Amino acid sequence: MSGTPPIAVTLVQATHLLATHLSEHALAQPASLEMISEPQRSRVTAQVHSLTVPSIAAELLAWADTLPTVTAQAWRPPCGDRVHLSMASTLNGPAGTVELTVYGGADHDPAVVGDLAPGEYRAVTLDALRAWAADAPHPLPMARR
């Protein structure tokens, strides 16, 4: 029947997609996860462990290298001196597709991220993430096999 919206994958299927992806690509385990399955879409939000812009950028790049298409952004919350870096993509599997967001928050440093006004969102290129990640102090922990 045309015009029928797709049915989202179940929470169990979304969890399986994420666990399989983490295992197959030896990604660091997220610090926290939010998984939502609604009738028309499913989404997973993963927060990374890193707490500095260079380390967050490195973790986002590790994820980006395992996904077909990503978009990244920086956001400065309206209050406070933090910046959130995030990337959005999808996880695809036999059961369907899950929207994926991976993010982390750090102290805002205009010398690194640029002048980002409170409340402002800005698209970030993978090249910018690579430049920021070049200052990461040490290799990222990998998932245990």
Torsion, Cα 24 30 36 41, to 10 degrees, reads -50
Give the sheet arrangement for strand 96-107, strand by strand: 32-37, 42-47, 96-107, 82-93, 71-75, 121-124
To the nearest whole number, what is the mean pLDDT of the chain? 88
Task: Give the pLDDT of residue 73.
Answer: 98
- What is the mean predicted confidence (pLDDT) over 112-137? 91
Whole-prediction pTM value?
A: 0.86
6 pLDDT tier (thresholds 50, 70, 90): low
Task: Give the pLDDT of residue 41.
Answer: 87
For residue 141, pLDDT beyond 60: no
Task: Give the pLDDT of residue 72.
Answer: 98
